[in-house]
Amino acid sequence: MLLIFVVSLVIMACIVVGKTGKKLKQRNGLNPNCSLEKNDGPCRAMIPRFYFDNVTRTCHRFLYGGCGR
Protein backbone atom coordinates (compact mmCIF):
# COMPACT_ATOMS: atom_id res chain seq x y z
CA MET A 1 0.00 0.00 0.00
CA LEU A 2 2.85 2.37 0.85
CA LEU A 3 4.53 1.55 -2.47
CA ILE A 4 1.38 2.50 -4.41
CA PHE A 5 1.19 5.79 -2.50
CA VAL A 6 4.84 6.63 -3.18
CA VAL A 7 4.57 5.75 -6.89
CA SER A 8 1.40 7.86 -7.21
CA LEU A 9 3.11 10.78 -5.49
CA VAL A 10 6.11 10.58 -7.82
CA ILE A 11 3.85 10.45 -10.90
CA MET A 12 1.87 13.49 -9.73
CA ALA A 13 5.09 15.40 -9.03
CA CYS A 14 6.36 14.63 -12.55
CA ILE A 15 3.11 15.88 -14.08
CA VAL A 16 3.23 19.13 -12.09
CA VAL A 17 6.88 19.76 -12.96
CA GLY A 18 6.22 19.02 -16.64
CA LYS A 19 3.30 21.44 -16.83
CA THR A 20 5.25 24.13 -14.98
CA GLY A 21 8.18 23.78 -17.38
CA LYS A 22 5.90 24.30 -20.38
CA LYS A 23 4.65 27.58 -18.90
CA LEU A 24 8.18 28.92 -18.44
CA LYS A 25 8.53 31.90 -20.74
CA GLN A 26 10.78 34.91 -21.02
CA ARG A 27 9.53 38.47 -21.14
CA ASN A 28 9.52 38.43 -24.94
CA GLY A 29 7.14 35.45 -24.97
CA LEU A 30 9.68 32.91 -26.26
CA ASN A 31 10.58 29.67 -24.61
CA PRO A 32 14.06 30.19 -23.05
CA ASN A 33 15.37 27.15 -24.94
CA CYS A 34 14.49 28.84 -28.21
CA SER A 35 16.21 32.12 -27.36
CA LEU A 36 19.75 30.71 -27.52
CA GLU A 37 21.97 31.65 -30.43
CA LYS A 38 23.03 28.90 -32.81
CA ASN A 39 26.52 27.72 -31.86
CA ASP A 40 27.43 24.20 -33.01
CA GLY A 41 30.72 24.11 -31.09
CA PRO A 42 33.86 22.28 -32.22
CA CYS A 43 33.10 18.89 -30.63
CA ARG A 44 30.90 16.02 -31.86
CA ALA A 45 28.49 15.20 -29.01
CA MET A 46 25.31 15.92 -31.07
CA ILE A 47 23.19 17.37 -28.24
CA PRO A 48 19.83 18.70 -29.49
CA ARG A 49 19.43 22.46 -28.93
CA PHE A 50 17.15 25.17 -30.29
CA TYR A 51 17.68 28.70 -31.59
CA PHE A 52 15.42 31.49 -32.82
CA ASP A 53 15.72 32.46 -36.49
CA ASN A 54 14.95 36.19 -36.81
CA VAL A 55 14.29 35.91 -40.55
CA THR A 56 11.59 33.23 -40.35
CA ARG A 57 10.62 34.22 -36.76
CA THR A 58 10.55 30.55 -35.74
CA CYS A 59 12.44 28.24 -33.43
CA HIS A 60 14.77 25.72 -35.12
CA ARG A 61 16.59 22.64 -33.85
CA PHE A 62 20.34 22.15 -34.26
CA LEU A 63 22.92 19.74 -32.89
CA TYR A 64 25.39 21.16 -30.38
CA GLY A 65 28.82 19.56 -30.28
CA GLY A 66 29.07 19.67 -26.48
CA CYS A 67 31.94 22.10 -25.98
CA GLY A 68 32.55 25.75 -26.68
CA ARG A 69 30.05 28.44 -25.80
Specify the pTM. Answer: 0.47
* 11-63 residue pLDDT tens: 776 675 555 444 444 445 666 777 777 888 888 888 898 888 888 888 898 89
Label residue 8 by pLDDT band (50, 70, 90): confident
- Assess if residue 69 is contained within a domain: no
Q: Specify the CATH number for the domain of residue 52.
A: 4.10.410
- Assess if residue 21 is contained within a domain: yes
Do 37 and 28 contact (CB within 8 A), yes or no? Answer: no
Number of domains in the chain: 1
- Assess if residue 28 is contained within a domain: yes
Please return the burial class of 50, using the count of CB atoms within 10 Å of its CB with bins 0-12, 13-18 and 19+.
middle
- Assess if residue 56 is contained within a domain: yes
Which domain, by its residues, includes 9?
Answer: 2-64
